[in-house]
């Protein structure tokens, strides 16, 4: 740093370090959320879809599987939208 830097280098409003922190906080929180999810969930979803499609024609997007943890209790939430009756 020399005397000339004092004229150029006024503190910028957002530093690159604060951008780094913000991005990290978001991605780390997201990845921690996925970590608590058991790895059988995608397969479970697929098998549920397979069973249902034996009886009704459904889309993959119409089945939602979510696992929620509340204290020492886990809730498996299944949300299936059946097609409208013809």
Partner 1 sequence: MAKIIVVTSGKGGVGKTTTSAAIGTGLALRGFKTVIVDFDVGLRNLDLIMGCERRVVYDFVNLINGDSNLNQTLIKDKRCDKLFILPASQTRDKDALTEDGVERVLNELKETFDYIVCDSPAGIEKGAHLAMYFADEAVVVTNPEVSSVRDSDRMLGLLASKSRHAEKGEKIREHLLLTRYNPARVANGEMLSVTDVEDILSIPLLGVIPESQAVLKASNQGVPVIMDETSDAGQAYSDAVSRLLGEDVPHRFLEAEKKGLLQRLFGGR
Q: Rounded to whole angstroms, how far apart are CA atoms 49 and 56?
A: 10
* 74 sits near partner 1 (criterion: CB under 8 A): no
Q: Rounded to whole angstroms, how far apart are CA atoms 85 and 45?
A: 24
Residue 41-60 contact track with partner 1, rule CB under 8 A, x = bound: --------------------
Distance between first and last Cα of the chain: 76
Smallest distance from partner 1 to CB 50, Å = 29
* 37 sits near partner 1 (criterion: CB under 8 A): no
* 10 sits near partner 1 (criterion: CB under 8 A): no
Q: Rounded to whole angstroms, how far apart are CA atoms 15 and 49?
A: 48
Other CB atoms within 10 Å distance of the CB of residue 53: 13
Give the interface size with partner 1 as a residue count (CB under 8 A).
19
Kindly list the residues in this chain that would bind partner 1 in the complex (CB under 8 A).
1-3, 11-12, 15-18, 20-21, 23-25, 27-28, 31-32, 35
């Amino acid at each position: 740093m020399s005397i000339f830097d004092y004229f150029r280098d006024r503190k910028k409003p957002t530093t690159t370090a604060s951008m780094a922190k913000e991005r990290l906080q978001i991605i780390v929180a997201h990845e921690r959320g996925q970590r608590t999810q058991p790895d059988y969930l995608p397969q479970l979803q697929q098998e549920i879809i397979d069973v249902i499609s034996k009886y009704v024609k459904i889309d993959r997007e119409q089945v939602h599987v979510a696992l929620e943890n509340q204290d020492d209790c886990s809730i498996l939430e299944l949300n299936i939208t059946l097609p409208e009756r013809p």
